[in-house]
Amino acid sequence: MFLRILCLVLGSFLTAPYLHAQLIISDKVEFGQANQLHMLWTKRGDQLLGHLLSIQQDTLTFRLSGLDNVLRYHRREVTFVGLANEAFPVFNKVTTRYRNRQGKKLEFPRHSLLYSATALAPQNRASYRNNILLVNELQYNINPYLSVGVGAFVPPVIILRATARVSINELLHIGVNVNQYFDTYWPDRYTHPYLMLTLGKQEKYINFTYGRWFQIYAWDDSSESFPMISIGGSYMVSSHWRVFFEGLVYDDGYANDILPTGYFNYLRRRSVYGFGLWGLPQDAGIPLLPWFSYSYIF
């Protein structure tokens, strides 16, 4: 039974890969500024010097330096636009900043625990994540305080999630999360609400959660619940690499167990690749399994 519940818990933070090529624009670029000199890289290897005038729908308008010629490119033809003296791509210490095709800045999240959400304010508008090929989820951040998510686990389990958070100061963050699961094979209903306390910043933090797992049996509307606690954290090793650890503690009335995880995330442009080890319940017979994930950030 617990393996089924564990799979449902995993489903609340997982996503599917999004593989389309994306235009990347440095956050240093100012549209239509004559005093800025821009460099445009195309997929076929061209490097053009001039000024990025605008981005409308899927079309970039670019004027060559010293000429009146105005060129138009479909966004899929262009890989990167930056300042003339800027390397490709551009990273900073905490986040990798690009712009979407409308020119709006994007900030890539650098934290993602396996079992639990954190109370840190999200840095992106939306994201997908896939874990071990089985669980997928889309998360949409309405604002720095509210997020919603929807996902699915194979075999079909529909997942809905809502998260609220607030930062007391730059080191103290609190929040609440509710996960709701709808099993298409069994009519039972599952709910996992929990409180979050996060200490630290994006670069390094420790996260604590406390909540309960509720299961409502469809055949007689009876229910049972038991506590779930998680302790985790993360440390940014470099602009590309981050290390995570987390342990989920539960007591379902039959056994107490601690499920440890440890893994690395590697960031490349909009993609995040994760790999590490995933601890199973003691009665599973296998203490650790390889774990991997793929995330895409919008």
Q: Which residue has the higher pLDDT, 273 or 67?
A: 273
pLDDT at res. 200? 92
Residues 6+ apart with CB under 8 A from 237: 243
- Asked if residues 58 and 123 have their Cβ atoms less than 8 Å apart, the reply is no
The lowest-confidence range among 3-12, 32-41, 172-181, 214-223 is 3-12
The lowest-confidence range among 83-92, 246-255, 268-277 is 83-92
Each residue of 190-217: pLDDT tens digit?
899 999 999 998 889 999 999 999 988 7
Mode of pairing for the β-strands spanning 78-83 and 24-25: parallel
pLDDT at res. 10? 53
Which CATH number among 2.40.160.40, 3.55.40.20, 3.90.320.10, 2.40.50.100 corresponds to the domain 2-18+109-297?
A: 2.40.160.40
Does position 51 have pLDDT exceeding 50, yes or no? yes
**Burial group, residue 143, by CB count within 10 angstroms (0-12, 13-18, 19+):** exposed
Distance CA 102, CA 298 (A): 12
Q: What is the mean pLDDT of residues 277-297?
A: 80
Q: Which residue has the higher pLDDT, 258 or 158?
A: 158
pLDDT at res. 58? 78
Model confidence at 263, in pLDDT bands (50, 70, 90)? Answer: very high
Q: Which residue has the higher pLDDT, 230 or 237?
A: 230
Q: What is the mean pLDDT of residues 36-52?
A: 86
CB atoms within 10 A of CB 14: 26
Does position 2 have pLDDT exceeding 80, yes or no? no
Does position 108 have pLDDT exceeding 60, yes or no? no
CATH class belonging to 28-89: mainly beta
Cα-to-chain-centroid distance, residue 141? 11
Distance CA 198, CA 202 (A): 10
pTM over 0.95: no
- Please give the DSSP secondary-structure letter assigned to residue 286: -
Distance CA 124, CA 21 (A): 18
Distance CA 239, CA 272 (A): 12
Does position 94 have pLDDT exceeding 50, yes or no? no
Please provide the distance, in angstroms rounded to a whole number, between the alpha carbons at the two ends of the chain. Answer: 36
Q: What is the mean pLDDT of residues 131-139?
A: 88
Model confidence at 162, in pLDDT bands (50, 70, 90)? Answer: very high
Residues 6+ apart with CB under 8 A from 220: none
% the chain with pLDDT above 70? 80
The structure tokens listed for 203 are: 């670069």
Distance CA 23, CA 39 (A): 14
Does position 1 have pLDDT exceeding 60, yes or no? no
Domain assignments of the chain as residue spans, ordered by start: 2-18+109-297, 28-89
The structure tokens listed for 295 are: 């995330």
Q: Which residue has the higher pLDDT, 284 or 211?
A: 211
Q: Which residue has the higher pLDDT, 144 or 98?
A: 144
Q: What is the mean pLDDT of the chain?
A: 79
Q: What is the mean pLDDT of residues 266-288?
A: 80
CB under 8 A, 24+ apart: contacts of 236-242: 236/93, 236/94, 236/110, 236/202, 236/203, 236/204, 239/91, 239/92, 239/93, 239/96, 239/267, 240/91, 240/266, 240/267, 240/268, 241/265, 241/266, 241/267, 242/110, 242/111, 242/267
